[in-house]
Amino acid sequence: MSIRSEDANAFLDRLTGLFAAHDGKLEVEGRVSNAGHMLQTAANAESAGAEPCLIAAALLHDIGHWLRAGTPDAQCVDHRHESVGAAFLKAHFDTDVTQPIALHVAAKRYLCTREPEYFANLSPGSVASLSLQGGPMSEAEAAAFEADSAHVHAVALRRWDEYGKMSGLQVPGFEYYRPLLRGLMRA
């Protein structure tokens, strides 16, 4: 085993520990744990036939919530969990994984501008955090977002994210995705 693969496996062990540590408390809409929410989001991506990099992004998209100190976003401060998570992962994953994570909050702001029905169906928690995150994009912001080809994957992730908050839904656990993640990590 090379030193690099040991690093990769140690990092995957760290992710396993984070998921295990956050799999109890119902932190998302009072219905599902943060770990369960990300597992559901990954399952949604896989069911949609998404490519591995996007399944990984879905699986890890909110990991930034576990890496910052302080109060939850919805209470008073936007901790920019999307940036925190992407920065944490970039040592091991390429931008095809980290960029959709970094942009998934922007994608929410974008969809609220472009699709009134998306905003109307936002979960209460997502509505509460929206204003902290800047509210719906302006027309100019939305046009600039669309001009970046990376927005397509970020928007796809955001849709799986919104449908990943079901109470009691049984989906594969973190270890199911370990081979997929290892295949994406830098060798």
Distance CA(183)–CA(187), nearest Å, equals: 8
Count of CB atoms within 10 A of residue 84's CB?
18
We find the least distance from the C-beta atom of residue 88 to Fe ion, in angstroms, to be 15
Q: Which is nearer to Fe ion, 27 or 161 (CB)?
A: 161
We find the least distance from the C-beta atom of residue 62 to Fe ion, in angstroms, to be 4
We find the least distance from the C-beta atom of residue 8 to Fe ion, in angstroms, to be 25
**DSSP structure class, residue 46:** H
Site string for Fe ion, 47-76 (x = CB under 5 A): ---------------x--------------
Q: Which is nearer to Fe ion, 8 or 84 (CB)?
A: 84
Which stretch, 79-87, 144-152, 153-161, 176-184, contacts Fe ion (CB under 5 A)?
153-161
Side chain identity, residue 161: D
We find the least distance from the C-beta atom of residue 128 to Fe ion, in angstroms, to be 13
Distance CA(20)–CA(74), nearest Å, equals: 23
Count of CB atoms within 10 A of residue 9's CB?
14
The residue count for binding Fe ion (CB under 5 A) is 2
Residue 32 DSSP SS3: strand
Beta bridge partners of 28: 32
Q: Tell me which residues in 122-141 interact with Fe ion (CB under 5 A).
A: none
We find the least distance from the C-beta atom of residue 139 to Fe ion, in angstroms, to be 26
- Answer yes or no whether residue 27 interacts with Fe ion by CB under 5 A: no
Dihedral pair phi/psi, residue 178, rounded to 5°: -60, -45
Q: Which is nearer to Fe ion, 8 or 38 (CB)?
A: 38
> Tokens standing for 22?
């956050």
* Binds Fe ion by CB under 5 A, chosen from 102, 161, 181, 185: 161
In angstroms, the Cα distances linking 151 to 17, 34, 132, 154 are 31, 24, 21, 5
Provide the binding-site residues for Fe ion, judged by CB under 5 A.
62, 161
